[in-house]
Amino acid sequence: MVRSAAVLIREHGLAPTGMREIAAAADAPRGSLQHYFPDGKDQVVSEALDWVAGQVTRPLLPDGTDRPQPARKVVADMFARFRRILELTDFAAGCAIVATVADASANDRLRAKSAEAFGAWRAALTDVLRRGGAGKARAERLAVTAIAALEGALVLARADRDLAAFDAVAKEITALMPR
């Protein structure tokens, strides 16, 4: 159900995604959605943002070897994963965190949860850059720049229904990362 919520939000936006749509997409009775999420839509969306944060940070965690992963490759892979989602969904899917921020100006709980999801992502990518030898301030700046540029590139790709802008951003931002 949480995954269905994330997919609906990244494709249609936060506002148009209601409990009815989430239940239908999860193929679950409306009553069971209400049973698991007594606080309603805000609760499902909060957990969906946690799920998204897990999806984006997991590939950035240490791989268990002693060798640090080169930041440039990690960021190229990050762009490649979202590129595949654009292709697989025919440009329907953006990022659920961006969609939440766009519609949730009056909802401080979801706004804060979006910040938390971005924060986890930024921390994981900052760690990659730090393990690769970048200083703390520079690692933080590069991490947030890569994530911001990726988010913007997703929006441009969905507007254009074309990958040219996305690929151009991926190329410039990847080149900006240390090897």
Residues near its own copies (CB under 8 A): 11-16, 92, 94, 97-99, 101-106, 111, 114-115, 118-119, 122, 140-142, 144-145, 147-153, 155-156, 158-161, 165, 168-169, 171-173, 176
| Radius of gyration of the chain measured on its C-alpha atoms | 17
Residue 6 CB burial class (10 angstroms; 0-12, 13-18, ≥19): buried
Instruction: Report the residue number, 1 or 173, with the smaller CB distance to its own copies.
Output: 173
C-beta of 147: minimal distance to its own copies in Å? 7
C-beta of 56: minimal distance to its own copies in Å? 13
Instruction: Report the residue number, 63 or 159, with the smaller CB distance to its own copies.
Output: 159
Q: Which residues of 40-56 are buried (b: 16+ CB within 10 A; e: fewer)?
A: ebeebbbbbbbebbeeb
C-beta of 116: minimal distance to its own copies in Å? 9
C-beta of 28: minimal distance to its own copies in Å? 23
Q: Which two tokens stand for residue 106?
A: 């009056």
Q: Which two tokens stand for residue 128?
A: 């990659």
Instruction: Report the residue number, 38 or 145, with the smaller CB distance to its own copies.
Output: 145
CA distance 64 to 26: 34
In total, the chain counts a number of residues equal to 179
Instruction: Report the residue number, 63 or 160, with the smaller CB distance to its own copies.
Output: 160
